Structure 1
């Protein structure tokens, strides 16, 4: 555990070190810790079965990548398996990455129950922030409020200025605004290098922090005005430890690609996404309606010309419709400050950073 004068509470650091040492089979006096016997394991499992779910701390989990994303699935499975928490899930039906803090006012959204063993779960036809907002409202779950909101594990880093785009970080921020402590978790996914099994390794890295955070919340020492953002390196199982970092100005570069009129997104590539059948049928209906509306609009407006977008449109009396697709491209950059989140991540450390949103609002209030 790498620690400087970093803002993490001493209790959280102590708890984390204690949990990590026990995970390695070492106790505080230096002697080897004996593995639990089969009878002890069976007794513990029986106690968990007999425990009253309502007596356990409630944890609410969401994700910017959708309810079927491997990061969320791996995390929820691990939380349920531990048996320490009453796990609730409220996540988008589909991938809502880069949705930032967007919400869906004035429109009807659906919340459909989902069968996740050991958890109470709903998939929502809205954004990650919608999920947390409706989840904490009392309209969906019968509770006062959870002890902790966890958003993740997100596929892709949310270091630096990526937090302004991230739906996962925004969900944690919404919980913070609503007065509930929160964590956002992200895995530094790299194309052609990462694989889904990395999420299971990432869960093993995150669980000690989650447990230590909940212990601090129960003791009343976890900061109430901050959300904790945790970034996990590309190879979670071979990480070099935890490092408390500060936010960098790094971000992926937006790249807008011009595409031809017959390649704009439609029902064909929509079906390739991992979504429920109900969501697919609903989207097909919307696509059909949109296609009908487009045909009517084209019939009424003969002067509109759809062309392949190749540059700045020249002067013409006809209106021109162009199509573009956005992708975010990670560019290699040199980072010299070891305390920056992206530098720590690239060096193989787990980056822990407080997202002090409410502190920022308070500073603005005092300034103006």
Structure 2
């Protein structure tokens, strides 16, 4: 494994850098003894950066769903896992199963039921959020109809689990990367950020290729264990979130490198699509009896109104609701667009930037 590079980077405290480097070096050395014929395999890779420090805010809840939570083994620290790709993402499943196999943690999962990878730091207001229990071997898991931020906020509120403050929140492993300005769109980054806002240390992880998820998990487990040991010892920096980006082919990476956040971004490209998204002909072809049903309903309503008028002796105005004339749509123009992001050439040339490190195999 190549040596850790911290040139021009003062984002992480020296103690944390040293601890991570020791873990990575030890793991690399252990595997070298087991695999003398494979000098190119590196078992630790990542690109990390610390988010801005914030003042923690404690979440609150008026109720507790005790019957939805399993008893927690207090001898083991609680680790909460969420993501942006959704509860069925292989990245999340592989990570949770690996954490359970470690046998060191109470692993709890609270993740979106569908893909919310570009939801940013959005929350669900004025709508009910549905929560359903699900199974991921060895963990206590729930899927949520909301965003990653909803998931973390709900989990830390005490309303869903019997605890309200885990030792660590892990957000990921997500597909793709969150380098540069992409972090502002990223739901997985927002999940880690929400934990940080609530005063809980967090790790966020991305992997470029879905078929590398298992290797990415094996690379990340030593980092997770090192972070948890530091948290338990009280030496993990307060108000800290680590952003870990993993390149393709994680097991043959060049090593572990600390980077600076770049200004990298993709160009939004809005494409005009057909204005007639739901052709009336297509709809009516599947509803051949709908016209007859509406006509029958109209006749029934008129007959009922006439009967009421004949049977009453009171002098009042009878108002029969047979339809409301809306505003004319003749002058209204409706258009439809679909957003796509296009990669653009980046002008930044510094080698210690996040996306450059990924491109170079770190």
Structure with greater helix percent = 1
Residue 6 of structure 1, CA deviation:
3.1
Q: Deviations over 1:98-155 (max 9, x none)?
A: 1111001222111100011100000001010000000000000001410000101111
8 Å contact from structure 1 (residues 12, 212) kept in 2: no
Choose from 267, 290, 298 the match for 1:253.
267
Alignment of 1:191-230 (within 5 A): 194=209, 196-230=210-244
Q: State the match for 2:104 in structure 1.
A: 84
Match of 2:5 in 1: 3
C-alpha distance in 1 between matches for 2:361 and 2:276: 43
Provide Cα deviations, 1:2-46, integer angstroms capped at 9, x if missing partner. Answer: 23253323333333233333433539xxx9579xxxxxxxxxxxx
1:57 is the counterpart of 2:77: yes
SS at the partner of 1:217?
Answer: helix
* Greater than 6 Å deviation, 4+ residue runs: none
Distance 1:96 1:300, change over 3 A: farther
Q: Are residues 25 and 343 of structure 1, via their aligned partners in 2, closer, same or farther at CA, if it must alter by over 3 Å?
A: closer
The answer as to 2:89 corresponding to 1:75 is: no
Q: Matched residues in 1 for 2:171 and 2:325: separation?
A: 46
Q: Tell me if the contact between 1:9 and 1:221 (Cα under 8 Å) persists in the aligned partners.
A: no
1:1-368 equivalence runs, <5 A: 1-4=3-6, 5-26=9-30, 32=33, 53-188=73-208, 194=209, 196-263=210-277, 301=326, 303-304=328-329, 318-349=331-362
TM-score (norm 1): 0.70
Q: Name the CA distance, whole Å, in 2 between partners of 1:33 and 1:216.
A: 28
Q: Secondary structure at the match of 2:5?
A: coil
| Contact 2:4-2:258 within 8 A present in 1 as well | yes
In 2, Cα distance between equivalents of 1:166 and 1:149: 16
Consecutive unaligned residues of structure 2, counting only runs of 5 or more, are 36-71, 279-323
C-alpha distance in structure 1 between counterparts of 2:108 and 2:247, whole Å: 27
| Counterparts of 1:300 and 1:198, CA distance in 2 | 58
Structure showing greater radius of gyration is 2
Change (3 A) 1:235 1:334: farther
CA distance in 1, matches of 2:229, 2:325: 64
Cα distance in structure 2, aligned partners of 1:56 and 1:123: 23
CA distance in 2 between counterparts of 1:329 and 1:235 reads 24
120-129 vs 320-329, greater mean Cα deviation: 320-329
Higher relative contact order, chain-length normalized (CA < 8 Å, sep 6+): 2
SS in 1 for 2:124: coil
Tell me, in whole angstroms, the C-alpha distance in 1 between the residues paired with 2:160 and 2:243. 26
Partner of 1:141, secondary structure, is coil
Q: How many Å apart are 1:158 and its aligned residue?
A: 0.3
Q: TM-score, normalised by structure 2?
A: 0.72
Cα deviation, residue 74, structure 1: 1.4
Say what the alpha-carbon RMSD is for the aligned residues.
2.3
Shift of 1:322: 1.0
Per-residue Cα deviation, 1:270-304 (whole angstroms, up to 9, x for no partner): xxxxxxxxxxxxxxxxxxxxxxxxxxxxx955743
User: Helix, strand or coil for the counterpart of 2:265?
Assistant: coil
Q: Distance in 1 between matches of 2:325 and 2:193?
A: 45
